[in-house]
Amino acid sequence: METLHASRSVIHQRINALRAAMQHHQLDACLVPSSDPHLSEYLPERWKGREWLSGFTGSVGTLIVTADFAGLWADSRYWSQAEAELAGTGIGLMKIPAGNSLQHIDWLAQHMTAGQVVAADAAVLGLAGARMLEQALQARGVVLRTDLDLLDQVWPERPSLPLPPVYEHLPPHATKTRATKLTELRAAMHAAGAGWHVLSTLDDIGYLFNLRGADVNYNPIFVAHALVGLHHATLFVAAGKVPLEVTTALAADGVHVAPYANAANALAALPADAVLLLDPRRITLGLRQAVPAGIRVVEAINPTTFAKSRKSDAEAAHVRAAMEQDGAALCEFFAWLDAALASGSEVVTELTIDENITAARARRPGFVCPSFGTIAGFNANGAMPHYHATPAAHATIAGDGLLLIDSGGQYLGGTTDITRIVPIGQPSAAQRRDVTLVLKGVIALSSTQFPRGTRSPMLDAIARAPIWSAGIDYGHGTGHGVGYFMNVHEGPQVIAASAMPEPHTAMEPGMITSIEPGIYRPGKWGVRVENLVLNVPAMITEFGEYLRFETLTLCPIDSRCLDLALLRSDELAWLNAYHATVRERLLPHVSGAAQAWLEQRTEVLQAAPV
- Asked if residue 604 has pLDDT above 60, the reply is yes
pLDDT number for residue 81: 82
Alpha helices (H) along 122-240: 127-138, 150-154, 178-191, 202-209
- Tens digits of per-residue pLDDT, 519-572? 999 999 999 999 999 999 999 999 999 999 999 999 999 999 999 999 999 999
Phi and psi dihedrals of 525, rounded to 5? -160, 165
**In the chain, where the domains are located:** 2-154, 167-308, 313-601
pLDDT number for residue 493: 97
Strand partners for 62: 73
- Asked if residue 41 has pLDDT above 60, the reply is yes
- Tens digits of per-residue pLDDT, 23-40? 999 999 999 999 999 999
Local confidence band at 498 (pLDDT 50, 70, 90 cut-offs)? confident
Q: How many residues are recorded in the chain?
A: 610
Helix, strand, coil shares of the chain, percent, nearest 5, are 40, 20, 40
Query: What is the Cα–Cα distance from 187 to 201, expressed in whole angstroms?
Result: 20
The whole-angstrom distance between residue 208's C-alpha and the CA centroid of its chain comes to: 20
pLDDT number for residue 343: 87
Please choose, from the candidates 315, 323, 415, 311, the residue with its C-alpha nearest in 3D space to the C-alpha of residue 371: 415
Local confidence band at 5 (pLDDT 50, 70, 90 cut-offs)? low
pLDDT number for residue 2: 47
- Tens digits of per-residue pLDDT, 305-364? 999 999 999 999 999 999 999 999 999 999 999 999 998 778 999 999 999 999 999 999
Strands 117-119 and 29-32: parallel
pLDDT number for residue 510: 98
Query: What is the Cα–Cα distance from 110 to 31, expressed in whole angstroms?
Result: 15
Query: What is the Cα–Cα distance from 483 to 513, expressed in whole angstroms?
Result: 9
pLDDT number for residue 98: 63
Fold of 2-154: Creatine Amidinohydrolase; Chain A, domain 1 (3.40.350)
- Tens digits of per-residue pLDDT, 364-397? 999 999 999 999 999 999 998 888 888 888 989 9
- Tens digits of per-residue pLDDT, 263-296? 999 999 999 999 999 999 999 999 999 999 989 9
Q: What is the CATH number of domain 313-601?
A: 3.90.230.10
- Tens digits of per-residue pLDDT, 425-443? 999 999 999 999 999 999 9
In the DSSP assignment, the letter for residue 519 is E
pLDDT number for residue 1: 42
* Domain 167-308 in the same topology as domain 2-154: yes
- Tens digits of per-residue pLDDT, 564-596? 999 999 999 999 999 999 999 999 999 999 999
Q: Does residue 315 contact residue 484 with C-beta atoms inside 8 Å?
A: yes
Local confidence band at 401 (pLDDT 50, 70, 90 cut-offs)? very high
Query: What is the Cα–Cα distance from 56 to 50, expressed in whole angstroms?
Result: 8
- Asked if residue 6 has pLDDT above 80, the reply is no
Please choose, from the candidates 537, 548, 550, the residue with its C-alpha nearest in 3D space to the C-alpha of residue 578: 550
| Distances in whole angstroms, Cα of residue 402 to Cα of each of 126, 369, 562 | 39, 27, 11
Instruction: Please tell me the pTM assigned to this model.
Output: 0.92
pLDDT number for residue 46: 94
Q: Count the helices and strands in the chain (H runs, E runs).
A: 18, 28
- Asked if residue 211 has pLDDT above 50, the reply is yes
Fold of 167-308: Creatine Amidinohydrolase; Chain A, domain 1 (3.40.350)
Look over the chain and give the mean of its residue pLDDT values, rounded to a whole number: 94
Query: What is the Cα–Cα distance from 552 to 291, expressed in whole angstroms?
Result: 43
- Asked if residue 226 has pLDDT above 90, the reply is yes
Angle between helix axes 313-343 and 350-362 (nearest 10 degrees) is 130
Please choose, from the candidates 549, 554, 408, the residue with its C-alpha nearest in 3D space to the C-alpha of residue 486: 408
Mean pLDDT is lowest, of 81-90, 333-342, 406-415, 512-521, for: 81-90
- Tens digits of per-residue pLDDT, 92-120? 999 987 655 678 999 999 999 999 999 99
